[in-house]
Amino acid sequence: MSDDQLDDDLKKRIKQVFDNYEDDTANEGWLLLREKYPEKEEDDRGIFWLWWRIAGVAALLLMALGVGLWLNFNETGKQNIAQHNKKNNITDTTSTSKIAAVTGNTKQTADSGTNIAAQQQAVAVAHATSVTKNTPFAQAGANPISKPANTTNTVFTAKVDTSVKKDLAYQLANRAQSLDIIDSPSTTNTTTIIANNKPLTLISTRPAGAPAVKEQPKVVADNQVSKGMQALFDKEAKHKATQNTEEQKTIDKKVAFSIYAATYVNYAKGSNKQFNTGGGATADIRLTDNLRLSTGVSIGQNTLSYANNTTTVMPVALMAAASHNFTASSSSLLYSVTPASSNLNANLVNLDVPVDLKYVFNPQKGNTYVSAGFSSGTFINETYNTTYSYNGANGSSVQQSSDPTHKSFDNFYFAQMLNVSFGVGYPVGKNQLIIEPFFKYPLNGMGDEHLLFGSGGINLKFNFDPPKSKH
Amino acid sequence: MLKPARIAEDELIAQCKKGSLKYQEMLYTQFYGFAMGIGLRYSINRDDALEAVNDAFIKIFKNINEYNPAKPFKAWLATVVINTAIDRRRKELKHQLNTDLDDAMMVQHSVSTVDNLNAQDILKLLNQLPTIHATIFNMYEIDGYNHDEISQMLGIATSSSRVYLTRAKEKLRKLLLITTYNERRSVR
């Protein structure tokens, strides 16, 4: 045999041997590899990613909560502003009236004057009978702001003697908390009294060049004008109440919160149907009269059981696990057989964040709606337990192996679940009880094993003070 | 002999690209024998081969996203294993020993001797060659590299690659003759 022939024969033989080389020490090899891989920095990265995912979910929830609170704050802010404006109207009017009265009285050199102003209302005339029956009252019904004080100022005077003044001082002292007295006798001798939020201005003026007549302080006490003034303020209060009601109608509550409990059935191709429960909270943000954006968070359990399936209908993950199991055994007996049956039990606890659009059919009458949207989220816990049963080489003995795996916050799915629901609300006091049948359809495999599963069931929802629409 | 159903190569790789450790283990298990067959030929012993194979698989897992599915996975794996094994022995290759074998007794060898060689026999033969000779023999004769590629990979001149290959073949012939001679003596 020539050298070339020998070389060729040797080459062929080496290729033949090593192309079909088999080695049954793969398990030991894998264990050695696992000492190096994944590296520590990979683990660190894994932790980083875990935190990143958790932070993502938390940020999503915070954002939803923030939007809700912001909208609520706006509602409260509007109401506060409305109330504040109401108060300011009265105060401004009063203070302006004071100025008007002083100016007017100074120019007209009136003895004294009392200006009673109310918001854009005609001012009723009050008669201080207890002070003097001859006190002339004049009234002008214009807003002091819009009408100059020197032309339309409301002035009424009351001449009283000193004893009456002293008596009034005593009464005022007793009402110190509710009275505000301004007395400026040096120039205008003006006294202003505001009692019980009822603006009352008492002005006593003595012009610098006026003759020295008997100075008479001009006083009007609240109890002395009570009847007329009370009527005035009652009317004003009524008017404001009407205004507030109208404002309240226009300012709707934009966000409504609900909590719910869910009972549902998980379904998946090849899996037995499993009953499960869950719960969560939602926030409905009103977009238009009929349209709401509904979001929130829920926690639900999902169990799937692929029982007695063959590898043809089992998910890929199960096939993978089967091969994994065979190689995990160093027994040549196990290596030489295929599984007779298999069972995969998956238990997934998911943290779900739905974002749905809700159409309310008749917002004034009730809370009947249809809703559709998508869910994102992660799995708080994933447990897979794969059990294989397979016959031995002689076909008689049955052996089983189990392969449980646990994962936590290992996967995040974004808009992988389609949500469809229909709800009917029943009033419970100010709140509502809503029965909401729902259906969740998977758009992609989820979890570590990429299981394609959905669910259908009923939500029992308690809706706190549902939003009302504009009237 | 029935073997467990193997997962399709594409599916395995697709799952490995997602970082699934379980599928990585499956890929490892499925191609371990093939990789070891290469690693053993390029290594001085089994432990060395296993380390080379594991290092190669780690490279595979880390760079699986760069794998081109249009090409056979085995070819890529073989390349990575060979490169890894060579890298591990690069120092040794630089300071390779050119110890020639003693002249063997010239005995007529038979085809049956070559045909009866198993993996262990072949590895024994290869391990008796200087490292650089065995490496070039494997690369050129078994794994299909040309001398230019070998010279680039090993950092030697192309002419050196040719020389070493020739010497490797000569020595293997001598070793085969010795093997045949010993077999005949044992039969007698």
Chain A residues within 8 angstroms (CB to CB) of chain B:
1, 3, 6-7, 9-11, 13-15, 17-19, 21-23, 25-27, 29-30, 32-33, 36-38, 311, 316, 319-324, 326-327, 335-339, 405, 448
What confidence category does residue A180 fall into, taking pLDDT thresholds of 50, 70 and 90? very low
**Partner residue facing B142 (CB), from A15, A26, A311:** A15
Q: What is the pLDDT of residue A151?
A: 40
Each residue of A295-321: pLDDT tens digit? 999 999 998 887 654 444 444 444 444
Say how far apart CA A416 and CA A139 lie, in whole Å.
74
Mean pLDDT of chain A: 66
Instruction: Dig out the tokens for A166 from the structure.
Output: 């002293």
Residue count of chain A: 471
User: What percent of chain A stands above pLDDT 90?
Assistant: 12
Q: What is the pLDDT of residue A441?
A: 92
Highest mean pLDDT out of A398-407, B101-110, B147-156: B147-156
Each residue of A390-449: pLDDT tens digit? 555 455 445 555 566 777 887 788 888 999 999 998 888 878 889 999 999 998 888 877
Say how far apart CA A68 and CA A64 lie, in whole Å.
6
Q: What strands, in cross-sheet order, belong to the sheet with A182-183?
A: A112-113, A198-204, A190-195, A182-183
Instruction: Dig out the tokens for B56 from the structure.
Output: 């190669």
From chain B, the residues in CB contact with A448 under 8 A are: 20
Span A129-143, mean pLDDT? 41
Q: What is the pLDDT of residue B163?
A: 93
From chain B, the residues in CB contact with A339 under 8 A are: 4
- When scoring B32, B81, B174 by the number of chain A Cβ atoms within 10 A, the one with the most, hence best to mutate, is B32
- B169 and A3 in contact by Cβ < 8 A? yes
- When scoring A2, A21, A318, A411 by the number of chain B Cβ atoms within 10 A, the one with the most, hence best to mutate, is A21
* Integer CA distances (angstroms), A468 to A395, A426, A465, B17, in order: 71, 15, 9, 52
Q: Is B22 left (phi over 0), alpha (psi -120 to 50) or beta?
A: alpha
Say how far apart CA A30 and CA A20 lie, in whole Å.
20
Instruction: Identify whether A38 is preceded by a cis peptide bond (ω within 30 of 0).
Output: yes
Q: What is the pLDDT of residue A372?
A: 93
Span A73-96, mean pLDDT? 56
Q: How many CA atoms lie within 13 A of A382 on its CB side?
A: 18
Residue type, A397: S
How many C-beta atoms surround the C-beta of residue B94 within 10 A?
12
Residue A199 has pLDDT above 50, yes or no: no
Q: Is B178 helix (H, G, I), strand (E, B) or coil?
A: helix
Each residue of A7-37: pLDDT tens digit? 888 888 998 888 888 888 888 899 889 888 8
Each residue of A112-127: pLDDT tens digit? 444 444 444 444 444 4
Residue A366, classified by CB atoms within 10 Å of its CB into exposed (0-12), middle (13-18) or buried (19+), is middle
Buried b (16+ CB within 10 A) or exposed e, B115-135: eebebebbbebbeebbbbbbb
- B21 and A322 in contact by Cβ < 8 A? no
Torsion sign, CA atoms A268, A271, A273, A274:
negative
**Partner residue facing A324 (CB), from B26, B61, B176:** B26
Instruction: Dig out the tokens for A32 from the structure.
Output: 């050695």
* Integer CA distances (angstroms), A115 to A23, A100, A152, A153, A168, in order: 109, 8, 11, 7, 18
What confidence category does residue A333 fall into, taking pLDDT thresholds of 50, 70 and 90? very low
Q: What is the pLDDT of residue A200?
A: 43
- A19 and B21 in contact by Cβ < 8 A? no
Say how far apart CA B146 and CA A238 lie, in whole Å.
103
Say how far apart CA A84 and CA A3 lie, in whole Å.
109
Each residue of A270-279: pLDDT tens digit? 788 888 999 9
Residue A139, classified by CB atoms within 10 Å of its CB into exposed (0-12), middle (13-18) or buried (19+), is middle
**Partner residue facing B26 (CB), from A13, A320, A336:** A320
Name residues whose C-beta falls within 8 Å of residue A150's C-beta, 6 or more positions apart in sequence.
A103, A104, A107, A108
- Closest by CA position to B122, among listed A195, A187, A18: A18
Each residue of B53-75: pLDDT tens digit? 999 999 999 999 888 888 889 99
Phi, psi of A113 (to 5 degrees): -160, 150
Name residues whose C-beta falls within 8 Å of residue A107's C-beta, 6 or more positions apart in sequence.
A150
Each residue of A246-255: pLDDT tens digit? 555 544 567 8
Residue B148 has pLDDT above 70, yes or no: yes
Instruction: Dig out the tokens for A415 from the structure.
Output: 């808009």
